Structure 1
């Protein structure tokens, strides 16, 4: 980075690309003070800010690599930026400052991607994105009835920007990336033609800039910065992970599905800990050890499954229910976060209370990793689990490290991932045991081997249905998260919204072309169609698992590539076609590796789909064998069982791709 003096101010360039321009008439930096209001209700937040002061620091004095800012010439300096390599270190000289606004140079036709895992809009240009880990919300569209009902009944409707996994990092089509090193609430505002405004509710440690010769180069740099996952476990390639929560009957249901031709790599029973029944639906018993009443002789059955080539997976989160045996153990050791009176803080999760294990206490983190995950799960025989609820740290608790919970809230998913990864590593099972998370923040990449898209509604809706997990995979993948998957058929069923056979089948078609296939029975299993309850759905699902297994040699190569380069398995079209700007805003299709283009059917009742094919290649339609020249939009038939998929003519795995239709 280089500081350049210009009339009335300065600019900062990164390898010749201007990223900051400051003059007295058009300042790049504003500082001030705000008084926030944050209300949390079961993972959902109402957030507002009363801005007491927002002052442009129009006057800047450049001395070497140091820039001092003040409101006007002759007034004391209030803020300092120091250029250090590719970083801008920041320091507030005025202790009252708790709000910072920075304007980054932009171009009118620029595209911007990232922001963590964004579910509604892949290209963030033209919109404003608060970055705060939370429940994503039900419906996520304020104009819809389901979102309205969710807001009225549980403050849980959400909006387009709500996400389990925010991250203050973006990639620009100008071929640079920006990361803000902070855990505070922040906002990325991309609505202006001439600048992007970054708002931070604290003084950030620094701003990091990355410059690349290509988008692939940038993705590799970000992966190096945030951490890189190991390759997928070998057992994953054997088929789908079946999500069943039916007690010991889950084993019999799995066998019937295998007899119907379903390829199975794992059986995931999140109810391995037992159930409690609430008005929301069947909930798990939040005490992380096998429930012998619901799963008799589970340890022996896990060993028998392993012998038959099927792994067993469970569920865990960082809370312990007050009526479980682990709670008094952790409470006696002082391992829970505290309330204002210094007592164990209890969190209402809807008809039951829990304590949150304080991972800022190293002893508590070690205890959970060893005694809960290590002994109760890994030593018991589990090969993986859902590591849930990383976004739920209450903002009013007192933590062992004495840091304000509002500043630890965004950091919590990364701490939670680290606890899980530490447990796995302690048993020498990194790259073998597979846990998956929906919550994330900066640095989660170094610990979490697999993301999942969260709790989509069981429908085709634009902001909460099948299509949103494509956007989530693409946005998070650019920031170093190589592997992404979702609940086949969706999860959230409320207000009479239930699955259709078509939805399950279309979701399974997409999942066959993702790193991991995994089903879920949802929050109301008895109200919703399950894969094994409909002969047509079951046969379709079996065929999709066969396609997934057929593509395993290719997926292994992509996994190796991810480990060595940081490239995600699911990629935006522009990643390999950066000179084709027609690809920059596409978010309902993706490249599976470099050589397969997948355009899932994500709307109900569709029997054909329009697909844009990138320039510079010949693309062959898998089902018909028809070749198409890139740079055009084609319409292809898309009956159930034939999702629009194309392979790149001349690809190394061309023979494998040609035989997909026979799998």
Structure 2
């Protein structure tokens, strides 16, 4: 079906895909087809307007924005109006899409302490010795223990979820050591299966791999090469995977898993799934599997909001303006509006490996510090590149101060998470969500963490001042200065994160 939806007066739309937050509210010329492309991050099949309207379907659909209307195409698309605000539209979608009985939050340590990931620090050369050294250095440099994620290249092959003995000769001893140091340990995994392996032959015989329309096993071209794909719509495939995960937890004491991939963009048009569904269902089921494990992280997902799942923004560049720092706040806002409540920005400094190897690459300490400051004000923060290796002593201290601030806010963050689990509201909100019809629809460089903390980070290189919009209420900065509704110019030296606490109405 095709629909043309005329705009209401002064109406703005949000939602759809998390990675498109930088484009929200959408303007003429923007389009997205959720059937085939989620832009490397989570997606939900609904659009929300700040006039209370929602355009939605249980299935993925295509949408395109024009100067005075939206054109949508797909199955069973509905348009409803619930109230007249962005929040009322969001809450209506929460009632329709949120699964019953999922009012829990991820483990508190995911919020209270930084997470640490081996990916940028070690790339494809992750070993037991390097992991242990990384953990030791984290503690010796004054960072608190937290969740440590062992990323790609720990296993023998994709789908063969056993430790590579050459790189990890005694994984049980490694994990025991990490646990004794206060870390929780997660392992990276994906639904891809390396061909020409014993596991591939086992799964092919089981009928657990995605097929092509001609009945042969499908091979996907993804960022690490060519692999078969576990068909998550097949109960035999999910049972097989969960058995492998249970063995890792039982045999080695693994606490949980980083569930990567499952994006529809890695599946071709002639891929056929066991239950006859479309490719987006892989991302939905992958998130639902992830929700079975207390310690989890997902980068992709479809209509998987309101689950007790840690959702991370996709890999970002080490850049101020090119899909880097500039996208963290708008994409974080979008993640919340798409129903993904418990969110973490990408690894501090950027998690896009090719970006660090491009011609002419220069590491930017100021960028790393500002990235860390933004991350510290998200519900969760995650390091990979070791700050002590790339920063001056002065900038190392600034990052440690940001970590300390995050720790100081831990109780507030955790209580906010619990309230959001009960209410369905996002943890990170834009001003339009919280203060409707006040002229804030276009504001995407500051955000609210819960109800009472306003964050206006410095996102521009070399700048030591910025404009801040203060909404209704009485707000106080870290120095005790009070603010009421209005526009202000505030100082933002490299040591300062502009944060305002609401102390009155």
SS at match of 1:212: coil
Partner of 1:641: 495
Tell me whether 1:348 sits opposite 2:218 in the alignment: no
Deviations 1:66-85 (A, max 9, x none): xxxxxxxxxxxxxxxxxxxx
Partner of 1:96: none
Tell me whether 1:481 sits opposite 2:358 in the alignment: no
* From 170, 174, 186, the counterpart of 2:62: 186
* From 246, 255, 269, the counterpart of 1:383: 255
* From 9, 13, 22, the counterpart of 1:120: 22
- CA apart distance, 1:333: 1.5
What is the number of equivalent residue pairs in this alignment? Answer: 486
- CA apart distance, 1:351: 7.0
- CA apart distance, 1:123: 1.0
Where do residues 558-577 of structure 1 align in structure 2 (5 Å cutoff)? Answer: 558-577=416-435
- CA apart distance, 1:301: 2.6
Where do residues 648-659 of structure 1 align in structure 2 (5 Å cutoff)? Answer: 648-650=502-504
Going from structure 1 to structure 2, the CA distance change for 1:216 and 1:349 (only over 3 Å counts) comes to closer
499-508 or 113-122, which moves further after superposition? 113-122
CA distance in 2, matches of 1:219, 1:378: 40
Going from structure 1 to structure 2, the CA distance change for 1:269 and 1:499 (only over 3 Å counts) comes to farther
Where do residues 52-451 of structure 1 align in structure 2 (5 Å cutoff)? Answer: 100-117=1-18, 118-132=20-34, 162-183=39-60, 185-189=61-65, 191-193=66-68, 195-200=69-74, 204-207=75-78, 209-212=80-83, 214-227=85-98, 230-244=104-118, 245=122, 246-247=126-127, 248-271=129-152, 273-274=154-155, 287-322=160-195, 324-349=197-222, 352-368=225-241, 370-377=242-249, 380-391=252-263, 392-403=266-277, 408-422=278-292, 424=293, 433-442=294-303, 444-447=304-307, 449-451=309-311
Going from structure 1 to structure 2, the CA distance change for 1:611 and 1:286 (only over 3 Å counts) comes to farther
SS at match of 2:54: strand
SS at match of 1:196: strand
SS at match of 2:373: helix
The alignment's TM-score, normalised by the length of structure 2, stands at 0.88
CA distance in 2, matches of 1:549, 1:579: 34
CA distance in 1, matches of 2:421, 2:444: 24
Gaps spanning 5+ residues in structure 2: where?
none
205-214 or 433-442, which moves further after superposition? 205-214
Q: Flag the structure with higher helix content.
A: 2
Partner of 1:586: 443
Partner of 1:495: 358
Where do residues 552-563 of structure 1 align in structure 2 (5 Å cutoff)? Answer: 552-563=410-421
Which of the pair has the greater relative contact order for Cα pairs under 8 Å at 6+ separation?
Answer: 2
Tell me whether 1:612 sits opposite 2:476 in the alignment: no
CA distance in 1, matches of 2:250, 2:94: 28
CA distance in 1, matches of 2:178, 2:35: 37
Larger CA Rg, structure 1 vs 2: 1
> Would you say the 8 A contact 2:194–2:226 is kept in 1?
yes
Moved segments of 4+, more than 6 Å: 133-136
- CA apart distance, 1:446: 4.9
CA distance in 2, matches of 1:399, 1:513: 40
CA distance in 2, matches of 1:135, 1:251: 38
Q: Flag the structure with higher strand content.
A: 1
Deviations 1:155-178 (A, max 9, x none): xxxxxxx45333331221212322
CA RMSD of aligned residues (A): 2.6
> Would you say the 8 A contact 2:447–2:454 is kept in 1?
yes
